[in-house]
Structure formats: structure tokens, C-alpha cells
Amino acid sequence: MTTTYQKDLLTGKTALVAGATQGIGAVIANHLAALGARVIAMGLGDGDGTLDAGVEVRQADVTRQADLDGALADLDELDIVFNCAGIIKRGLEHDVEVFQRVLEVNLTGTMRVCTATRDKLRARRGCIVNTASMLTFFGGGLVPGYAASKGGIGQLTKSLAIAYAADGIRVNAIAPGWIATPLTQALQDDPARSGPILARTPLGRWGTPQDVAQAAVFLCTPAASFMTGVVLPVDGGYMVT
């Protein structure tokens, strides 16, 4: 893995990444560890094998307060929190129970982690980075629950930025666009569907998890020390066309 940041940038920092046992969350966890942070990857299961050896894995469900309390109990110091836990159920989210489950994980789970870590972050004047989406700004006919949850994360990020500012805690979010992950593999493999996506994306390619991670890490570095309440698109320009 390559990184654009100096190797010791986050030495002495402790980071918690919720939803980091696979996908973009795992890539973010690896980037933080490469910059010297102690990283706890929290999620369901032991991961998909992509986490670096130095990343500590703790199993916890963001919808269960008892799980979060147990995962956080022995963390005396916490500087950085990333919320990457999320699910999507394409074509099923018009069922109200499925819709509620998606919101419970994506939106309420994010709020639960923010609330659970606030006191620890206050002590270190730390920061939170949430995971929004391009669907924070657009609707999705097949994914009303996912789109609603990501829209909510945008407003939650802005609201907590205001509420947590007096604690010295910055709260920002990343908004990935079309990123090449296993979740989008079917789209990538279908020229009839991927063609219009790339045609609308000024940079002309799918994003990578590494693209998202580099931007996400920026939001918790000293370079972003005067940024809070930002929902940062990482989308190759898709949202401005």
C-alpha cells in the first residue's frame, strides 16, 4: 500500500474504525495503521483477510449498545473515529422492515458510535469521520432505505459538528461516488450499466477504495484542523455534472 502522507503522521494516536472488517473500512484502517496510529477495527466477524497484521479486530454490532460498551471499555484514549458500518439491500428496501433495518445500521448505528465515543474524544480533542454517499444528494429508486440513511448522515454530520464543537471535536464526512468494490462488481461487469456511469464521471473511471481512504484520512490530519461539518465528495466529479 502506498500513501501520500508522512509515515509517522499519526504516531501516538488511537483510532477506532467501525465497519472495518472488510471493504472501504478495512482500507481506511490499514491507511491509519500505516501512518503510525493504533487502530481498532470493529465489525462483525474476523474480517475478509485484507486487514494488516497490526490492526486489532474487535467484534461488535453497531446496533447493539452492549456490544459497543464492551468494545470501548478498555480504551483509555481515543483520537479518531471512523464510521464505515453500513448495509444496502437493493430491490428489497421498499419493504418497511428492510427499510428500518438499513436505517438502524447505517444511520442510527453511526449516531450510536458517535455518542458512545464522545467523552473519550473530548478528552483528546479528537475527530469523527462519517461515511455518507453520493446518494446523500440523490435519490435511489431501488434503495430508498440506503438513500434515506445516507441523506440522514449528511445532516447528522452537520448537526454533530455544531453540537460537538464546544468539546473540541471535529465531525466531518466523506461521500464516495461509484467505487470499485465487490458491492458494485455487477455494475462494473455490465457495459450497458457502467457506460453511463463513466460517461457522466468527468475523471472517466471508477474510484478505488484507496481513493476514498486517502481523502478520509485527510479529514483527521492537522491539515484539516479548521474543517468541521464538511461532507466531502470523493466521486471523480460525478455530482457536479
With beta carbons less than 8 A apart as the criterion, state whether 212 and 27 touch.
Answer: yes
With beta carbons less than 8 A apart as the criterion, state whether 106 and 140 touch.
Answer: no
Chain centroid, CA 202 distance in Å: 24
Task: Render the burial of 139-151: b for 16+ CB within 10 Å, e for the rest.
Answer: ebeebbbbbbbbb
Helix crossing, 209-218 with 23-34: angle to 10°? 50
DSSP string across 10-54: TTT-EEEEET-SSHHHHHHHHHHHHTT-EEEEEESSS-SS-S-TT
- Alpha helix stretches (DSSP H) within 165-208: 185-188, 191-200
Q: From the candidates 5, 146, 164, 238, which is the catalytic residue?
A: 146
Catalytic annotation present for 5: no
Tell me the C-alpha to C-alpha distance, in Å, between residue 153 and each of 41, 83, 210. 21, 10, 22
Strand partners, 127: 80, 170
Name the grid cell of 149.
440513511
Name the grid cell of 90.
437493493
Task: Count CB atoms within 10 A of the CB of residue 39.
Answer: 28
Instruction: Indicate which residues carry an active-site annotation.
Output: 146
